[in-house]
Structure 1
Amino acid sequence: MELEKRGTGERPPEGCLVVAIRMPVRIVVLVLVVPVRMAWDALVVGGRLLRDTVLRPLGRALAWLGRVLVVVPLVWAYRWVLTPIGHALVWLVRRAGDLLAWVYVRVLAPIGRAAEWALRRLGLVLAAVGAAVFAGVAWLVRWLLVAPGKWCWTWILTPVGRALAWCARGLWWVLAAVAAGAGAVLYWTCRVLLVLPALALWRWVLTPAGRGLAWCGRGLWRWVLVPVGRALAVAGREVADALGHAWRVAGRISLAVGRFLGTVLRLLVVEPVSWAYRRVLTPLGHAVRDAVLRPAARVARQVGRTTRQAFAAARDIARQTRADLRRALLGEPRPVARREPVAAETRTLETRTGREVSPPTRG
């Protein structure tokens, strides 16, 4: 029945013990859980504030420092140091490979072919000598060892082996008969002295004792352990339900306290600061901008424009004065006809011939 109720999701009816345990347990658990939940919510809010105001800017600063101090130097070193060194090493390896290939083709390959030809000829000679030696040794072994051994095996060892085998079969039959008799004696002795008493002890003593112990164990399980287990299960379930209920109630209490503190902080700090910013600082900033900064910027632009014009006029006057002094001291510059230089007056990298023409004076 319990399995059917659990399978359908229906909760069994609650008794007086469950109802009597539930309220005290929930009250005690609520008193214990509320401070823990409020401390947990405070830690969560503090952690978020610390993350947004300290850890995230610190992480961005560390990332920027890491990029400036590590990534950029490493990229520069890779681009301007390691890459050229790698290209140089690749070039050296290629040159070394070409050199080794030339040595292999021009030196080692001819030497190897010559050694192969010599070893092949030497192998043919050694094979011929070995075949002759093997044939002679085989003839000697055949007539000095194999033929005498075959005669000895046929006329000496075979009759002696047959006689020894017949003696061994007889000895084995005698030993088998003795072992069978000794085994039968030992079997009946063990059966009478050990097996039959042990069988009687198991049948008439141990089996009734085991049945009695099993009956006592079933009674202990049914009338003691099962009720105690059910009581402990009810208490555990009520404690777990009380913890969940207390955690939810503590969350609502913590949320209400947080909202109250947020409202107090908004009324005492945020709204006065916002009002001061909107009603005092913003009009004051607009007034300073309109009365001081914009006129000052306008005057500064006018002064800069006048200064640039004065400098341009002074520069033109100085240029004209230099031109007049040069004309008064040196006279008017003579026009020079342009012509192509002859071969003897051609300018080269080593020598410079011809006459340099001064640039025309700007009037």
Structure 2
Amino acid sequence: MEPEKSLPEPGRSEPGRPEGCLVVAVRLPVRIVVLLLVLPVRMVWDALVVGGRFLNDTVLRPAGRALLWAGRVLLVWPLVGLWRYVLVPLARALAWLGNVLVVVPLVWTYRWVLTPVGHALLWAGRGVWAGLEWLYASVLAPIGRGCVWVLRGIGAGLAALGGWGYAGAAWLVRYLLVVPALWVYRWVLTPVGHALLWVGRGVGFVLYWGARGIGFCLYWVVRVLVVLPAAALWRWVLVPVGSVLAFVGREVWDALGHAWRIAGRISLAVGRFLATLVRWTFVEPARWVYRSVLTPVGHAVRDAVLRPCAEAGRAVGRATRQALASARESVRQARADVRRMLFGEPRKREAVARREPRAAETRTLGSSTTALTKD
């Protein structure tokens, strides 16, 4: 709990917010009542916060670290070992087998079987296409041109024979179909279409002005029956009520803020009082007992009992180590004596000539140690 900022005086208004005596008279009882209601909540909240921090520091955090370590030992390390020493070698072995058993045979098949077969098929396809082109250019095209020429000759002959019949058929079609159709379109369909268009314009004019009049009437009906009452309700009822409720809510919110801060200070004072009481009731007596009673007793026990016991233990250990060392040396000597009685003295090593020159034969500026330049 940290100390809060300085609180404004109850009768002083905040800057930019004009207030009167009625507001102050309403605010003071509200803040007193809210403080009485909020103070127990704030004290319970502070107690829960302190208990939660203590629980987090003493129980939850060590338990979380223990669970983290257990999860690392039971899950992470086995999974890492499984991945590193099982899955990765297995995957590499499978990749090698796939390369040897699948990729290499497929590459060999593509290079030495499919590629030559494809080249052969391409060469054969090119030959077949060249043959087809030659067949089209040398055989089919001349035959087609000859057929077209024959058909053109036959068509020209038929046109020369049937010219008079074609002119008669055209005259009959013109005077039996075209001329009557034009007359019906000009003297029947056009007037009927104009009449229908005039009737449609009249009906549209009537419908337009009728819909406009009905809309005007509905506009005034809705305005008089809905809009004006709603505007009056909003202006004369909802806005004042909303202003009052906003003022009350703002005052209650400010009162809650002030009460929460004041309750925090009271809770801080109560907490400090309880901490001081616990300190002088339990902590300081326990510290005095530890410092004035237990520490001298412990020092006396250490100097009178523990240190002599430790010195005696170290002396016994040194004697034991010396006895064991002498026993090992005796056993080693006995084994050497038995080996000499059974197998004789060990063979001495022959002295090997040193490769480095001796001190008297060192190389100098006036002499040499080589065989060629030696005196």
User: TM-score over 0.5 for the alignment?
Assistant: yes
Partner Cα separation in structure 1 for residue 349 and residue 288 of structure 2: 84
Partner Cα separation in structure 2 for residue 322 and residue 313 of structure 1: 14
Pairwise mapping of residues 193-204 of structure 1 onto structure 2 (< 5 A)? Answer: none
Residue 295 (structure 1) shift = 2.2
Partner Cα separation in structure 1 for residue 175 and residue 72 of structure 2: 97
Counterpart in the other structure of 2:75: 70
Counterpart in the other structure of 1:234: 247
Q: Which of 37, 44, 47 lines up with 1:39 in the alignment?
A: 44
Residue 304 (structure 1) shift = 1.4
Q: Check 1:70–1:302 CA distance in 2 against 1; reply closer, same or farther (3 A cut).
A: same
Counterpart in the other structure of 1:81: 86
Secondary structure of 2:18's counterpart equals coil
Partner Cα separation in structure 2 for residue 133 and residue 41 of structure 1: 105
Partner Cα separation in structure 2 for residue 254 and residue 185 of structure 1: 91
Secondary structure of 1:283's counterpart equals helix
Q: TM-score, normalised by structure 2?
A: 0.71
Partner Cα separation in structure 1 for residue 153 and residue 68 of structure 2: 92
Q: Which of 182, 185, 206 lines up with 2:196 in the alignment?
A: 182
In terms of mean alpha carbon deviation, does 210-219 or 180-189 score higher?
Answer: 210-219
**Residues 21 and 235 of structure 1 are in contact (CA less than 8 Å); yes or no, is this contact kept in structure 2?**
no
Counterpart AA for 1:88 = A
Partner Cα separation in structure 2 for residue 249 and residue 334 of structure 1: 99
Q: How many residues align?
A: 324
Counterpart AA for 1:181 = A
Residue 46 (structure 1) shift = 1.9
Q: Check 1:99–1:163 CA distance in 2 against 1; reply closer, same or farther (3 A cut).
A: farther
Residue 11 (structure 1) shift = 0.9
Q: Check 1:235–1:325 CA distance in 2 against 1; reply closer, same or farther (3 A cut).
A: closer
Matched, 1:316 2:329: yes
**Residues 34 and 246 of structure 1 are in contact (CA less than 8 Å); yes or no, is this contact kept in structure 2?**
yes
Pairwise mapping of residues 256-335 of structure 1 onto structure 2 (< 5 A)? Answer: 256-325=269-338, 327=340, 330=342, 332-333=344-345, 335=347
Pairwise mapping of residues 1-363 of structure 1 onto structure 2 (< 5 A)? Answer: 10-14=16-20, 16=22, 18-96=23-101, 97-131=103-137, 132-133=139-140, 136=143, 140=147, 171-173=184-186, 174-188=188-202, 191=205, 218-325=231-338, 327=340, 330=342, 332-333=344-345, 335=347
Counterpart AA for 2:16 = E
Counterpart AA for 1:178 = V
Counterpart in the other structure of 1:360: none
Partner Cα separation in structure 2 for residue 146 and residue 255 of structure 1: 122
Residue 158 (structure 1) shift = 8.8
Share of identical aligned residues, percent?
50
Q: Check 1:310–1:241 CA distance in 2 against 1; reply closer, same or farther (3 A cut).
A: same
Greater RCO, 1 or 2 (C-alpha within 8 Å, sep 6+)? 2
Secondary structure of 2:328's counterpart equals helix
Residue 72 (structure 1) shift = 1.9
Q: Check 1:299–1:191 CA distance in 2 against 1; reply closer, same or farther (3 A cut).
A: same
Partner Cα separation in structure 2 for residue 59 and residue 65 of structure 1: 10
Counterpart AA for 1:246 = A
Residue 259 (structure 1) shift = 1.8
Counterpart AA for 1:287 = A
Q: Check 1:296–1:336 CA distance in 2 against 1; reply closer, same or farther (3 A cut).
A: closer
Listed as ranges, the gaps of 5+ residues in structure 1 are: 1-8, 339-363
Counterpart AA for 1:267 = W
Listed as ranges, the gaps of 5+ residues in structure 2 are: 1-14, 351-375
